[in-house]
Every structure is written in structure tokens, then in C-alpha cells.
Structure 1
Amino acid sequence: MKIGIIHEGKNPPDKRVAFTPEQLAEIQETFSGQLTVEVQSSTIRSYTDEEYRAAGIQVVEDISSCDVLFGVKEVPISSLIPDKTYFFFSHTIKKQSYNRPLLRAMLEKNIRMIDYEALKDEKGVRVVAFGRWAGIVGAYNAFLTYGKKTGLYDLKKANECYDLEELRTELEKVQLPPIKIILTGRGKVGKGAREILEMIPIREVSEASFRNDYFEEPVFTNLDSVEINRRKTDGSFDLHEFYTYPERYESDFQKYTEVADILIGASYWDPRAPRLFELKDIQSEDFAISVIADITCDIDGSIPTTQRPSTIAEPVYDVDRETMQEIPAFSKQSSISVMAVDNLPCELPREASSGFGEQLREWVIPALLLDYAPILERATICRDGDLTLEFMGLQDYVDGKE
């Protein structure tokens, strides 16, 4: 088997790659006689062609001789090679209308599409993701935003840092008054965000202490579903019921908005579940939050001040408390500054690529060499010109009926 690493063709360019040079060299050595590796030449990725050559990996212009092709973002339709197996984030599983032509093209070109988002273990837990790095960069951007809003310090943008070590050095500039910070979510994204809070470092306190006590230092609390939602009928909480019937619950988040200064949103949100707060709530004098870093970036989602994604070039916009409309970043001291970059791992592409490649090395490469691998079968959207049984629910989407 020959596997190939494609150059990214989507605009704006993405500097991430599925595997680092060292990882490919190790894979090629470990599975010698079973697979070989080629890397398609690229001038934009965070690891240069020269770094791959130095690791003993062949760099080529034409990658059509490879059997299995790994990318990161969606492959442009014009670049798709018929009859190949592709791995990338297709953004079709949720029936995204803008990628309907891509899925149609893969069906027409007889491509086997294995989507990273669908790679899950037997318990249904995703095994390949950039979540940790979204959390790290998103939380870093929260403090970048706070520094610019208050004028207390000035951080480089994350994408201007060479690596995590330089980002860590930048954090030494952070000087905070005794503010209170909320982090929502305890998954991979939340754990990544927590790394930044611990680097600064900021002390963690219980949610009760966060709400009721005064501190002479900055503190944070880490909230999950149980702390921020309550059953409509009696104010209690049952985790299984919440996951199954989230519409039976209402937000209990207001008691935190009255005391918090920064919100870092890193928790998954089901559209049937209540929002953390409603947009009109920001008009209240009791709404104390002034900086929101929405790592989830769900438009019109759990954090309603996220009115659109922001960009790496312009990561922040403000929302006026009175009009509830977007205004330029930091143009009004009383407004809420929102960071909602939707491709955060791109800001630390070398580290993000390394972490991603480690996951692929563990879960995907060995599976590729098996005659039958359940983890790959469950993640295969289409093959042989048809949707797989797992994804037959996409047929109306492909046909343009929904």
C-alpha cells in the first residue's frame, strides 16, 4: 500500500498537515514492506518539503500513484482523483449545503471517503480530532482579547508564535486584576483551554465559592451541564435525562453572569438544549461579562453574542449592550468583546499537526493494513459510487431534497 499526504487546496490556506516528517519516517520504518509514503509538494504547510526530505520521505508533485490520500480540509472538487480512498474533514455529515457538490463529486468519482469526524471507538467516542488545540488557542485568545480591551498588556497573536513554547512565553506578560473567569466544558476542548489557565497560572475555585466569595487574585471555575442547567419542573438535574431530553431543561447560568468577567465557552451544545443566556440579557446592568471567547463558535447557539465567525486576521468584534448589534472591536468600553475564530488550531499548525498525527498513527494506520477494520467501516461515508449503510440518511441531502 502506498499512502500520500496531499497539499491543502482550500482557501484560505491551511498550514496543518495530517502527519509530521518524523511521524511518517517512523510509520515507514515500522511498517516496512507493508506500506510506503509520499508527500505532495507544498509551499504553504507548516512543515516544509525540505523537512520531509530530511526525514527520508519522498516529496512528489504528482500523487496519483498513491492508494490512500490524507488531507485536513475539504479537497477541491477539481483536485479529487477518482477511485482513491481519502481521509479529510468533509463537513458533509451534518448536511452542510455548501458541501453538497463535494459529496456528489466523490460519489461520481467512485471515491471511498473516510471522514475524520466519524472515526470513533466502540463506545462512540471520537479518536481523531484537533479539540485540544482549539481549546489551547481559544483560551489564549481570551487573554489576548482581555489585554487589548483593558490596555493592561499586549500579546502576540497565537499564529505569530512559532510554537507552544513561544506562546507560553507570551503568557508571562499577562497581568490580571482579581477577575473571575468561567470555563464551560470538560471534554478535550475544555481540557485544552484549562492548560492555558494553568500556564498563567490562575487558581481554580468551586462554583459556589466563585459565586459567593471575594478574591484578591484572579480565579476561574470550570462548569459543565449539571452546574448551568436545571429541570423546568422542579429545578433539579439528571444527566441521562438531560442528554436524552434537553428540551426539558432551562438555563441556570444567570447567577454566574452577575459575577464573572470572562467567559471561555468550550462545551458541546445540542440545539434542543437551552442557551447559556439570551441576547437581551446583555442589556441588564447585572450582566458583568465583558469578554467572551466562544471556542465552539456555534452561530445563534449556546452563546448568542456569537453572531458570526471571526477570523485569524481579525479575531475580535464587539457587541453593543444597548443595541445588541455588532460594532468594531474595542470601539466602546462598555460593549462585550467576542472572540469566535472557527479554525483555531490553524494558529499553531505545527503542534496541532503533531498531535493529530499521533492519533492517526495509533488508530488509523494499523487499521488500514487489515482486511476488515470496523473503525474505518463506521467512518466510511461513501464507496463504489454509493453512500454506505451507516450514512444512507444523507441520500436526500445528496439529491437536494433537504
Structure 2
Amino acid sequence: MAPTVLHLRAEDKPLEHRSALTPTTTRALISAGYKVNVERSPTSAIRKRIFDDSEFEKAGATLVPEGSWVDIPSDHLVIGLKELDETKDFPLKHSHVTFAHCFKNQGGWEKALGRWSRGGGVLYDLEFLQDDKGRRVAAFEHPDGTPLPGVDEFTDGKGYYVSEDEMLQQIRGDVARGEKIAGRRPRVLIIGALGRCGRGAVDACVKAGCEDILRWDMAETAKGGPFTEIVESDIFINCIYLSEEIAPFVNMDSLKGSNRKLSVVCDVSCDTSNPHNPIPIYNANSTFDKPTIQLSLSNPPLSVISIDHLPSLLPAESSDAFSNDLLPSMLEIQNRSSHPVWQRAEELFRKKVATLPAELQKVEHDEHV
């Protein structure tokens, strides 16, 4: 029997340096009998993969041209991280393992999901790969969401940090400078503090020198917002996994009181285009080169950080952690028709496709493949 072929695509998103597969997990997959093709890393500095092509080659992978996934046989599986280029609309005939951000009625979800429906392909959305207890099999935990100035200024133009220590060194300096000005260290409120991302936020805030940290999760938010505790904190970090409509944690009316100390909101969850976004005070994502959105408020000014791929600040560490967590499921992907993780993911895909307008469900010929 011919081996199952996995095709790791290059990422389209600017300043995305992470990788769904690492040289280590690639080696493990090849040892298990898979064939792994890896697209060469983009030469552009803003899209260059954190791992060198040579590392994948040494692990046993075959290097192939960037963007070649569109022309590979339909039975090859395409592996990636961030959503595909939104400017392209040709139907997708392959099975893709990636984050697509189209299962929760986000803006443009019909167009994104319809590409797989029209092409006869399948989307195994990484956000919805779950074990038997309903927990995600892999999720990005770092970085934490601690507010950061423009990244290039502090990373020698790389756009990312080589290590957590490098990032924390810079943040500790920022906290110390702020303490001199304010006469105290900031109070931080983290919602989702018991989850993967939230635990990372707490850990990094502690390492950065923040001592007054409110750790909130479902019990603390059960009464429904908006919450005055957020407004009275200096920094609010949102790390929840939004699965249903909930009352806003904070809104523009709650920010107008005289008791506001809040000056930074870091929305790690970034449900910007979700109709149930619990932080409806902004409507656009920020970027690594322009990491903050300034709201029309003063005394104090209020900035929002809403970078939707924040873990790419630590691309090596976050890729290693995510890919290692994903590996047990990837080792079973050749048995996806019977393996529970992949079965559930495909069933969810079919269920979501059934909600598409009829014209987007029709399989059509794709001249690109």
C-alpha cells in the first residue's frame, strides 16, 4: 500500500513564522510510514518559516516549491496553520488540516467554507480537533498577551522574538518604567485564566513582574457583564474560547465612568468578526507593525491589542508545543475515516456545509487543479 502523503504548505499570512509541523514531528511521521513533502520557506522575511528548509530535509522530508499544493494529487493531505489567501476563490479539492475561522459565522465564513464544498475537499479545522472529553487536542498557549510596543523596534527588525527570555526581558523593562511613572505596578485582569492560553498569560505576567493579577474564568463571569472590575484594572487580557453568545465583558458605555483605570485591552481571542464578540469596543485587528488600536478615550488613553496570530511572536517555542500536541492525532490521520478525532472533525465540517447557501454547496470544476 502506498504511503499517505502529507504536504506542508508555506503560510500566506504576513509575519506568520510558525509551522504546523516541525522537523521533529516530521521525522516522527516519516518513521511511522508517512511521506512528507514540505514547501520551501518563502524568501520574504515577513513570511519566512522559523525552521530552515535544511532541517526538514535532514528529518527525511522532500522539499517542494512554495505554493505547489494547488497542483498536487487530490488524495494528498494539505497541512497548514493560518487561513488561506482570502483574495483567491478557486474551489478546493484537497483535504486541509488548518485553522480556517469559518465555523462560528465569522465575517466571510460562507465564502471561505464554500471553497471546500465547491471543490469536493474537506476541512479538518485545527480549532475543532477534539478528544473524547471535548478538549482540543492542540492549541497555541504562548505568548501570553502581555501588551507589547511595536515589535520590529525590539527584535532587530525580525518581527518576532528568538526566545521567551528575550521577550520577557523587554517586557520587564517596560513594567519597571511604568512603575516609575505611576508609582505602582499594573493590576491585570485575565479572563479565561484556567485555559491553555490563560495559564500562559498568568505565567508570563508573573515572570514579567506583575504582582496584582485577577485570575477569572467561568465562575467569575457567570453573573454576566459588563464588569466594573475590568474597568478598574490597568490591563485586561481576554483568553476565552467563545462558543456561544454571552453578555459583553466590557463595552463603550462601561468605559465612560470616572473610575476607569483601564488603559490596555489585549484581546488574545480576537473574535473581532464574530457576531457575539464579548469585547465590542473595536472592529478591526491590529498587526505586529501597528500592534495597538487607539480608542477615542482619554484620562487615561485606551489601547487595544488584537493581533490574531499573536503566538507567532515566539514562533519556535509555540510551533514546537503545538506540533507535539498535534502529533498523536496526525499519526492517526491515515485512519481518519475511523479515528474519533478525525471523524468528529469531518462530521462537523459536513454539518457546517449543510448550512451554506445552495449555490455554494455545488461541486464545480476547478481550472486551477
TM-score range, shorter chain: 0.7 to 0.9
Are the counterparts in 1 of residues 231 and 254 from structure 2 also a CA contact under 8 Å? no
Q: What amino acid is aligned across from residue 320 of structure 1 in structure 2?
A: S
Which stretches in structure 2 are left out of the alignment for 5+ residues?
Answer: 43-47, 362-369
The alpha carbon displacement at 1:316 in A equals 0.8
The alpha carbon displacement at 1:41 in A equals 1.6
Are the counterparts in 2 of residues 184 and 224 from structure 1 also a CA contact under 8 Å? yes
Cα distance in 1 for partners of 2:145, 2:206 equals: 14
Q: What amino acid is aligned across from residue 228 of structure 2 in structure 1?
A: Q
Q: SS state of the match for residue 357, structure 2?
A: helix
Alpha-carbon distance change, 15 to 365 in structure 1, aligned in 2, over 3 angstroms: same
The alpha carbon displacement at 1:3 in A equals 2.8
Name the larger-Rg structure. Answer: 1
- 2:137 paired residue number: 127
Answer yes or no: is 1:7 the counterpart of 2:9.
Answer: yes
4+ aligned runs moved over 6 Å, structure 1: 78-81
- 1:178 paired residue number: 185
Alpha-carbon distance change, 127 to 95 in structure 1, aligned in 2, over 3 angstroms: same
Corresponding residue to 1:279 among 245, 252, 264: 252
The alpha carbon displacement at 1:194 in A equals 1.3
Q: SS state of the match for residue 269, structure 2?
A: coil
Are the counterparts in 2 of residues 8 and 72 from structure 1 also a CA contact under 8 Å? no
- 1:246 paired residue number: none
Alpha-carbon distance change, 72 to 201 in structure 1, aligned in 2, over 3 angstroms: same
- 2:240 paired residue number: 267
Corresponding residue to 2:115 among 105, 113, 136: 105
- 1:221 paired residue number: 214
Q: SS state of the match for residue 50, structure 1?
A: helix
Are the counterparts in 2 of residues 114 and 381 from structure 1 also a CA contact under 8 Å? no
Give the 5 Å matches for 1:166-315.
166-173=166-173, 174-175=175-176, 176=179, 177-185=184-192, 186-203=194-211, 219-230=212-223, 250-251=224-225, 253-255=227-229, 257-258=231-232, 260-269=233-242, 272-299=245-272, 301-315=277-291
Q: What amino acid is aligned across from residue 219 of structure 2 in structure 1?
A: V
Alpha-carbon distance change, 57 to 227 in structure 1, aligned in 2, over 3 angstroms: same
Cα distance in 1 for partners of 2:207, 2:356 equals: 47
The percentage of counterpart residues that share the same residue type is 22
Alpha-carbon distance change, 229 to 22 in structure 1, aligned in 2, over 3 angstroms: closer
CA-to-aligned-CA distance 1:212-271 (integer Å, 9 cap, x gap): xxxxxxx111012322442xxxxxxxxxxxxxxxxxxx426214533x222122223466
Alpha-carbon distance change, 291 to 6 in structure 1, aligned in 2, over 3 angstroms: same
Q: What amino acid is aligned across from residue 267 of structure 1 in structure 2?
A: I
Alpha-carbon distance change, 279 to 368 in structure 1, aligned in 2, over 3 angstroms: same
- 1:341 paired residue number: 307
Alpha-carbon distance change, 358 to 302 in structure 1, aligned in 2, over 3 angstroms: same
Alpha-carbon distance change, 4 to 165 in structure 1, aligned in 2, over 3 angstroms: farther
Q: SS state of the match for residue 332, structure 2?
A: helix
- 1:365 paired residue number: 331
Which stretch shifts more, 342-351 or 262-271? Answer: 262-271
CA-to-aligned-CA distance 1:344-387 (integer Å, 9 cap, x gap): 122222222212211221223234346611210110169xxxx6
Cα distance in 2 for partners of 1:170, 1:26 equals: 35
Cα distance in 2 for partners of 1:80, 1:71 equals: 17
Q: What amino acid is aligned across from residue 286 of structure 1 in structure 2?
A: N
Cα distance in 2 for partners of 1:37, 1:163 equals: 27
The alpha carbon displacement at 1:279 in A equals 0.8
Q: What amino acid is aligned across from residue 311 of structure 2 in structure 1?
A: P
Cα distance in 1 for partners of 2:242, 2:92 equals: 36
Q: SS state of the match for residue 325, structure 2?
A: helix
Answer yes or no: is 1:316 the counterpart of 2:326.
Answer: no
Please provide the CA RMSD for this pair.
3.0
Alpha-carbon distance change, 256 to 37 in structure 1, aligned in 2, over 3 angstroms: closer
Are the counterparts in 1 of residues 187 and 210 from structure 2 also a CA contact under 8 Å? no
Which stretch shifts more, 168-177 or 36-45? Answer: 168-177
Cα distance in 2 for partners of 1:9, 1:370 equals: 24
Q: SS state of the match for residue 182, structure 1?
A: strand
The alpha carbon displacement at 1:127 in A equals 1.3
Are the counterparts in 1 of residues 38 and 63 from structure 2 also a CA contact under 8 Å? yes
CA-to-aligned-CA distance 1:311-366 (integer Å, 9 cap, x gap): 11101122123xxxxxxxxxx66321221212212222222221221122122323
The alpha carbon displacement at 1:397 in A equals 7.5
Cα distance in 1 for partners of 2:115, 2:280 equals: 35
Q: What amino acid is aligned across from residue 396 of structure 1 in structure 2?
A: P
Alpha-carbon distance change, 377 to 183 in structure 1, aligned in 2, over 3 angstroms: same
Alpha-carbon distance change, 310 to 381 in structure 1, aligned in 2, over 3 angstroms: farther
The alpha carbon displacement at 1:191 in A equals 0.9
Are the counterparts in 1 of residues 144 and 201 from structure 2 also a CA contact under 8 Å? yes
Cα distance in 1 for partners of 2:245, 2:118 equals: 35
The alpha carbon displacement at 1:9 in A equals 5.2
Alpha-carbon distance change, 228 to 75 in structure 1, aligned in 2, over 3 angstroms: closer
Alpha-carbon distance change, 334 to 371 in structure 1, aligned in 2, over 3 angstroms: closer
Alpha-carbon distance change, 35 to 169 in structure 1, aligned in 2, over 3 angstroms: same
Are the counterparts in 2 of residues 2 and 38 from structure 1 also a CA contact under 8 Å? no
Q: SS state of the match for residue 39, structure 1?
A: strand
Are the counterparts in 2 of residues 262 and 289 from structure 1 also a CA contact under 8 Å? yes
Alpha-carbon distance change, 223 to 279 in structure 1, aligned in 2, over 3 angstroms: same
Q: What amino acid is aligned across from residue 54 of structure 2 in structure 1?
A: E
